[in-house]
Structure 1
Amino acid sequence: IKDYERQTEFIGILDNYSDKDSIKIGGEYGDVIEVSQLYGDQHLRVEVWHRNEQGKVLIDNDLLESGSSFLEYPEDYELWLRINSDSNKESYPYKFTIYRNNQSIEAPTGGELSVPWNHGEALTYHDSWYYESYIAKSDKNGDSILFKLGADTEVSLLCTSSNNNMIFEIFLIKHDTSIENISLENGLCPDMIVSDENTDAVEMRIKTEETGRWNISFNPIRKLDAGELSDAPESRWLIQPDERWTKIQLDSEITGSLHSSDNIDIYLIRILDQNGSRVYLNQLIKSEVNYTIQEIDQVTGLLVNTSNGETIVLPYGNHSFRIERRADQGIEIDYTFRLEYLGEYQEPEIEDYQDLSWMFDNFYKLIGVLFLTPLMIVIFWNRKAIINREKMTTDIQLHEMKRLIRIRERLSQQLNKNESKDEKIIDSALKQLGESPWNSINEVWGKPILTHMTEQIDICAWKIAENEKNLLLGIKAGNCDWEMAAMKIHFPEGAKLTITDVSPKHIFQDDEIFLDTMKKNSQIFIRISISGENANLGLQFSGLVNGEPLAAAPNKIIHW
């Protein structure tokens, strides 16, 4: 058997009982030779010999009795097999297979597998789910393999060996290079490995007191996020992303899942266009999740802009893609999407224009006089009525402002009470706000912390009673009725807050408040009590307008 051969099937025949065949096996000290699939007459014997210039030594006189046999290549000796027979039959055919495990090329980068692993990057399931090698009795340090295993992942593990003396040790390698020993006391492998949020890889170490073969196979229990054996992180990086955040390839289909205890998945978007890239979300499968494309300031690391899937321009650098659960806990949600690339952003070219407006100055003056002349005549005829009405309007406005100020004081006084809040007073104040002029409320209550105005809906938000974390929402419908209206509070980053109370009483569940039907041009005010801190929250108003689903989502985020 030549040195460069790894496996050979040997077929031979003994002419008579006195005939003997000798086979020299090439190898180096520390190599493991497996002799298997032995077929032949019961009178055949396969002997193992060590031989050098000083002589030869019989190691085993009958390999046929033990099935597969594992031999360590000796030091300062040659390894020989000799086949003979103790019968007087005329011919004895035989067949067996020899496999050589060359320890000098055992590791991926060459050389023998070492403990601990020092052969470069961890192996991944892209290389294989299954690993096999041999270990010699003289190898006191043993073998090891380093397998890439990310955060919050479950994999099944199956370890087998050719003898019962093999010991398997298991270590979780953390992202900060620390090591956690999760080995079993009996030296066997557990049925499953569960990683935590800081896990980067798992190292398997194998030791033995006799020469043999070991086999290790991994199998994922949960579905892979973006094809990686790791659960996507639930939070965004602080300074720079590392390998824990999977990079999304633009124009590539991405699949993943939110398992029963998983609420958020965060992915990395890396933009290489110097002027930025135009991207949008293509949701290939409808899922009970919210998608958010998040633009990150490359200097401060803060969130500066978001998109729910519409086209957005992301500047050069690292940005994030957030997937958040909408369904109840305990349900596994699969999602499939693709971030479509629309090309590099091109700033519009501004042409040089010549100002020729001076040519029409006289025309504008003439037309202005012609249009204003009838108005001045009407004002002159009705000058007395106009003067008296202005005085009356001023009195009405002052009265309305005083009334709104009293409502604000009464509402703040009740909300600042710790225990003895009078819900009737709070509901009455909110009802009076709903009956007040919309513009007057903004003047008296101050500038809202969030404003969203469209043809169909106006939304304003004020923070009131700071110590109790109360949010006042004003909602004004447009020229159409809103049926099955609801207000949802979502949290694009930070901790998840909890709604504890709503006034006036409305049905609410988790982070959604159900408002039923809003008639056209109507307005309501609701007070929301929220527990928690250090989070950003956004609003989303949805319902049916003329039988069609419609939603309004302000882009601005409220810092809580």
Structure 2
Amino acid sequence: MHIEPNCMFTGGQGAVNLDIVLHERDGSTVVVTQNAYSCPDSIQTTEQTESIEFRITSVGAIAWGISLRADDSGDGSLVGDAPDIIWAPGELDQWWQVLTLGPPSFQGNLGPGDFVDVFAFNITEENGSYVRVDTIGDSAASYRLLTLNQETGDVENSTDGSMMIVPPGTHALVIEIGDTNQTVEYHFSLPYNGPYEPEGGEYLDLSYRAKNFYIFAGIFLLSPLLLVIWWNRGAIFSGAPLASDIEEHERRRLRRLRERLAEALAEETVDESEVEYALRQMGDSPWRAVVQDWGEPLLRHMTEQIEICVWRISEGDATLLLGIRVADEPWELAAMRVHAPEGAKVGIAAVSPSRLFQGDEIFLDKMPADSKMFLSLTLEGNPSSLGFQLSGLVGGQPLAAVPNRVLDWSD
């Protein structure tokens, strides 16, 4: 800042030797004048100047007087500019003015090269106080109230000068403007708004008294989930789809395929291309969806290697739908035999899609792992019951899958 000193010494010129020294915050000094007879017309302090020292020496007794006039009134009650940084923990000193909460107002200015002023204020109430900034007059300056961690100095909360609860300790008020070439004055106060009073009294943690109840309630509430997981363990642990995974459009498609298959086989002249199309489309659909659409099979056989299902396509008809689902190992040289344990001999009249067959046996050849196939079988003969036997090579070893019951075919 710019200071104009006015010095008066008795004894005439040369009666005194005058040194003027600026003391900086970092402990260094700046010599303004040395061995002078009088004060200079002006003194220009630096941004780090804390105090000005006048050293007067004389050879005899003299009277002297010094007065100082600054070109501005300073920020707040400080002589000069307020700091533009927040103090480090434990290093708050006279460099920062500590504002008082209450009626007193404070003034200052910001301008070119001086965009930020920082003030401190103390909160002594045990539970903290309500603090806000009350601006006086119009100003382009903005205000920020900052609550500081008293150990680390970190900012824990802030407002734009509006009301906030500030805990005990020393906290900061920051006043700032944008980059401007204009001088902006500010005028404000920090009214005392009373201590913060927490609602309620002390609370006791009695949760330990209900520990056994919490354990019982947790098990009781989770038991339905455990039951659902058990019901759907196949879908969860082996990746099988849930019933809800089968979309409605898939249901409609399978229903339409079933109807088309039944209609095609009911014609006097069977349209083989229509039958094959329906069966191949069913083979591309999820196995579970087909089983749900066709309903409970007349015969079902499940092992780790294979699943076999048999449905009657339409009542009174000698045509069956045979579904085969292969597990995670392929079958080689597979063949399906349809035999009659009781009653007249049974034979195979037609197979769709086209497969080699002879008598009561169909040659299926290779069945890849994780594959599905659906065959339409038209039987001849009048057996009272039907049996099925699938045979082939699995892992190079012969294997047969024979359902443990027969299909009643008397109707």
Shorter-chain TM band: 0.3 to 0.5
More strand by share: 1
Q: TM-score, normalised by structure 2?
A: 0.46
In our comparison, the structure showing a higher alpha carbon Rg is 2
Q: Relative contact order: is structure 1 or structure 2 higher (C-alpha 8 Å, sep ≥ 6)?
A: 2
